[in-house]
Structure 1
Amino acid sequence: MLVEHGAQLLGHGSLGSLLLSYVQHAQNFYGLPVLTVPPYTPATLLPDAASVAWRLQTGPYATDEDAEDCWERFTSTVELEKVRALVLGHGMDGVSRLTDLRSRLTGLEALFLGDMEDEEEMISTIDQSDLAPLLEAFPGLRELVVRGGDGLDFPVTGHAGLRALRVESGGLPPEAAAHIAAADLPSLERLELWLGDDDYGGGTTVEQLAPLLAGDRKPALRHLGLQNSPIQDELAAALASAPVVPQLTSLSLAMGTLSDEGAEALLHGQPLTHLEELDLSHHFLSEAMMLRIWTALEPAGVRVNLRGRQEEDDEGWGDEDDEYEGSGRYIAVAE
């Protein structure tokens, strides 16, 4: 039986307990505390506009009028030129509104679209859109987080300044994933994609991620997360020889259906001892395989996260025609 080793717990976990940490409101963003735009507060009582990440949101039963009121409070009381980070939550459809404000939001560096918890809206039903106009409007953007994948797309042309991109989704549209993989993002240091399940709009293939795995369009990339995927074994096999891996300092295959087959591919592939961290949490590895991974990488100084070992469901899941029907394995976040 595996036991605790320092801060990394090796052993059994439950899906329910893990979900608590996956889809929550941001408390800090871009190194700043998040402050929800307060109602009826004079501008003189607000903090310096550059000192917080401003969250705009409405209540669960709010109307379009309520959203307009929220935007009005924000734009009339906050010095928009000083705003560095924005978090858009429930009821705030933001892309067109933000592009209209480009001449005032001249210091915007970080943006979180879709900051909602399950009680407000399930992740698979959070609407997004084509992000090309947004990225074109804000060349100074450094960090972008998107929660939800319904309707999401991303421009192949890329963005010169973006350093961190995270897409949290129960089903990332394959076209969007392919466009992100192919985009020229020369400054990007961190990329995290929750690929999600076919039944919720996912279905990205290894082939669609080929430009990303080749490593030549994102030369600054140091952290790569290909997460929350039902093809985690295939991704592991591809990463075992992918040219992008030697340039990384951390790699995540968390939240998915990784089994001994994928872990075996990683162990027999190119060396991973240069990594500072390998995150495989929420997995379906045997205890023997967990021990093999730990003993292969921990002596080299790699922090290996093997928390959240899941048990396969004997009854399986999915429809009869589903490629993964009967596998008994499941991703961490879908609906």
Structure 2
Amino acid sequence: MNQNIQREVSDAGIAILTFDRPDSTANIFDERTLDELNDHLDFLEAEKSLQGLIIQSAKSKIFIAGADLNTFGKEMSAARVAMAIERGQKTFDRIARLPYPSVATIHGAALGGGFEVALACDYRLASGDSATKVGLPETKLGILPAWGGLTRLPKLIGLPNALEAVMSGRQYSAEQALKRGMIDSIVPRKQLTAAAVRKIQQVEGKKRAPRTHLSNRPPLSKMIKAQAEKKGTARTHGHYPAPLKALEVAYASLNLPYEQSLENEKNRFIELALTETAQNLIGIFFLQERAKKLKLPKELGPAPAAPRQTVHRGLVIGAGVMGAGIAQWLSSR
């Protein structure tokens, strides 16, 4: 059987997990990939001679694109959604709890769960390639990061930058991510693995110490939350709950014990995932991805370029699943 994740151990005692989903240009966290990752973690936890872990991708444009959104379809019950979230959280927690340093070497898109697994590592190195993007875009789909992203990101980069990232769902280039502290350094693609080995050797097997941010402490954190809440409400007009729900979870993570913060992520995710808003936005996402793969017959030639126009108002006729989804998408813009 083809494997989604290959494992090797260097002479220096550094384990390398390479994500390379067969017959696909993208890596995702589907059930099979999570199964394999947990099998590898059994080895990584048991092997006492290891000095470090590197997580990398063999794909040319994708590090890991995130969770398999088919997991959260219309037929999913709250119990099954909870199981999917708990599994991802526990898997990434195993990475975070390894007794030696871990490094994610990011080339290509590391989005959603793909960036959350990188956040579970001690260090993040990224290529400066234009294909490299990092971020947590879940709120654009009507949901929120729930595999530890809202718990770890505020502690890593501070509350203001974390709220900007999760509420906007923005994808950051390597340069933008470095400026915000989302990654530790930019390295040429071909040198990523060597740079990760050097980082592990430099820290001499020690885990990374937690960061402290003044913005994560009251009264400043409370002021930042209030400002972000005001801005988010003005932007969504109360019709788009995910950004404000993500704000609440990220802010709460500053004062909750780690396990309770993960539980809060899970519970708020379930509340959002089962709503019509989320289901419609996820449906639109799948339609957009399908449209990207469509190919016009060559004899038709390229479509004529239309002049750009700024759309100020939109009218949706019809209130079915598609109409409701389009209306939700328009209201979020």
Higher relative contact order (CA 8 A, sep 6+): 2
TM-score (norm 1): 0.31
More helix by proportion, 1 or 2?
Answer: 2
